[in-house]
């Protein structure tokens, strides 16, 4: 390691100790406070000073992560692995003998939104990959655009685009023999094969887990970016919009999902909740770079009013918005070619940002996060979700493993952890605690997130 690397590492160690001195002394002071008049003001001050210290620590660990040529190493690893994976996809989709190649048939007809349909196609494609089949996509009469998928994207194959044998439905026993298998929706499969999400192919596991913080998301980004290769005409449309909205990086992508989602699948979040994390991202960026960055925000939403509200209330930020997209996203215009174009454009621009603030309960936001992974060697940290942790709809288990014992505080609804326990993760409360079920004890409850690590599934 270089001197700068070691120096920064020691600085981080001492700064962490210093945060603990600071917090302990402030807590002592609060405990002994006799004068309650200024209490709120003092708590605000402590929280501001605490944040400043933590932001410096976050910026320092980032700088450590790219120092000593680690940034270049990570980039090379990621680019090389992406080439291997994309080559494999191209080979699989362009077999030498298309007539006799076994196939997966996938329908774009799932009756849900664009993000949900794309995740359906991703799951078909993942199945095709692991069963060594070519995927044929049916998108005629697509609810967003009757011209189908290829109105926006390159065909999934140059040479092999048609079904030419009898199709059978998915069945646990026929998958080896059947020439063509028509995929059901993921939720209809009772015994899901272990190659389905959140598994990554074992042939890429070792290099991948070394450079990336959430291997499955990198893998899903590779799949999605193959499926979403714009055709040349639509690429021109994209370029025109990028120019028209004056899109530039650095940029934080904010996605505010409202309308039909609220109350059914997600809670309402005001614009202030999103902007709090946009500010935090830029505060840290300024520390990383030792200079002030222009605070650009790309804002996408399905509720028109949000755009005006954000621009009026946050004058220190420069907003990029593709105005008509929100209008066509509204419920009465949603399943139209204009709406398809709008959501594809919005997801694309969100994915081109440096950071995302959104709700992972929305597939729009999860797609943007997936696509972002192909632009950075490790973009697993480049998001703040206001609700769920990342997931893939219909996924197999998502386990974390305890790396420290935990004696539960029962009053807080906590569960016991023993080092090595597997916990089925339900969600992160984003307050230092996650919720899940300990598979050893079957207990359901809260546990400190920092005492666990993600388990990486592979096949």
Contacts with ligand GDP, residue ranges (CB under 6 A): 112-116, 255, 257, 261, 300-302, 325, 329, 334, 339, 342-343, 346, 362-364
Q: Judging by DSSP bridges, how do beta strands 452-454 and 399-402 pair with one another?
A: antiparallel
Query: Least distance in Å: CB of 450 to ligand GDP?
Result: 29
| Spatial separation of the C-alpha atoms in residues 185 and 124, rounded to whole Å | 9
Give residue 400's region: left, alpha or beta (phi > 0; psi -120 to 50): beta
Using alpha carbons only, how large is the chain's radius of gyration in Å?
A: 24
Tokens at 131, concatenated: 């069963």
Closer residue to ligand GDP in complex, CB, 77/309: 309
Closer residue to ligand GDP in complex, CB, 266/446: 266
Tokens at 17, concatenated: 């100790």
Query: Least distance in Å: CB of 336 to ligand GDP?
Result: 9
User: Which strand (E) or helix (H) includes residue 62?
Assistant: helix 39-66
Query: Least distance in Å: CB of 149 to ligand GDP?
Result: 14
Q: What is the DSSP string of 286-336?
A: HHHHTSPPP-EEEEEES-THHHHHHHHH-TTSEEE--HHHHHHHSGGG-SS
Closer residue to ligand GDP in complex, CB, 116/238: 116
Closer residue to ligand GDP in complex, CB, 180/302: 302
Closer residue to ligand GDP in complex, CB, 102/366: 366
Handedness of CA 245, 249, 254, 260 (dihedral sign): positive
Query: Least distance in Å: CB of 115 to ligand GDP?
Result: 3
Tokens at 28, concatenated: 């002592």
Closer residue to ligand GDP in complex, CB, 33/188: 188
Which residue, 173, 163, 168, is CA-closest to 184? Answer: 168
Closer residue to ligand GDP in complex, CB, 302/457: 302
Tokens at 51, concatenated: 């944040």
Query: Least distance in Å: CB of 117 to ligand GDP?
Result: 7
**C-beta nearest to ligand GDP: residue:** 113
Q: Judging by DSSP bridges, how do beta strands 318-320 and 355-358 pair with one another?
A: unpaired
Query: Least distance in Å: CB of 228 to ligand GDP?
Result: 13
Query: Least distance in Å: CB of 15 to ligand GDP?
Result: 39
């Amino acid at each position: 390691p270089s001197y700068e690397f070691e120096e920064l590492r020691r600085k981080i160690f001492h700064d962490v100790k210093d945060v603990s001195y600071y917090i302990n002394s402030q807590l002592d002071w609060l405990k002994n406070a006799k004068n309650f008049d200024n209490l709120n003001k003092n708590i605000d001050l402590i929280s501001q000073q605490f944040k400043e210290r933590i932001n410096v620590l976050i910026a320092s660990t980032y700088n450590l992560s790219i120092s000593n040529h680690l940034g270049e190493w990570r980039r090379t690893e990621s680019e090389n692995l992406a080439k291997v994976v994309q080559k494999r996809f191209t080979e699989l989709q362009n077999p030498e003998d298309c007539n006799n190649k076994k196939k997966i048939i996938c329908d774009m007809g799932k009756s849900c939104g664009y993000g949900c349909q794309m995740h359906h196609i991703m799951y078909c494609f993942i199945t095709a990959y692991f069963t060594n089949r070519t995927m044929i996509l049916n998108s005629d009469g697509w609810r967003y655009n009757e011209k189908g998928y290829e109105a926006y994207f390159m065909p999934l194959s140059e040479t092999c685009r048609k079904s030419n044998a009898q199709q059978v439905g998915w069945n646990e026993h026929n998958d080896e023999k059947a020439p063509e298998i028509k995929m059901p929706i993921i939720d209809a499969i009772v015994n899901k094969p272990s190659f389905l999400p959140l598994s990554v192919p074992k042939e890429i596991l070792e290099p991948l887990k070394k450079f990336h913080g959430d291997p499955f998301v990198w893998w899903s980004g590779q799949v999605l970016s193959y499926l979403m290769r714009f055709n040349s005409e639509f690429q021109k449309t994209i370029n025109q919009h990028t120019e028209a909205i004056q899109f530039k990086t650095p940029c934080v992508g904010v996605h505010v999902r409202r309308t039909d989602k609220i109350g059914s699948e997600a809670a309402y979040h005001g614009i202030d909740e999103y902007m709090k994390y946009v500010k935090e991202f830029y505060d840290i960026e300024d520390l990383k770079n030792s200079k002030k960055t222009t605070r650009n925000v790309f804002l996408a939403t399905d509720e028109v009013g949000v755009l005006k509200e954000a621009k009026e209330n946050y004058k220190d930020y420069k907003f990029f918005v593709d105005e008509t997209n929100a209008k066509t996203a509204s419920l009465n215009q949603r399943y139209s070619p204009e709406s398809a174009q709008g959501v594809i454009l919005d997801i694309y621009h969100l994915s081109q940002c440096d950071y995302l603030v959104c709700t992972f309960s929305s597939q729009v936001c999860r797609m943007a996060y997936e696509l972002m992974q192909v632009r950075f060697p490790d973009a697993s940290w480049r998001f703040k979700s206001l609700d769920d942790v990342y997931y893939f709809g219909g996924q197999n288990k998502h386990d974390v493993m305890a790396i420290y014992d935990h004696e539960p505080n029962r009053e807080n609804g906590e569960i016991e952890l023993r080092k090595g326990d597997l916990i089925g993760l339900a969600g992160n409360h984003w307050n230092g605690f996650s919720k899940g079920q300990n598979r050893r004890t079957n207990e359901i409850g809260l546990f400190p997130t920092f005492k666990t690590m993600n388990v990486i599934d592979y096949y």
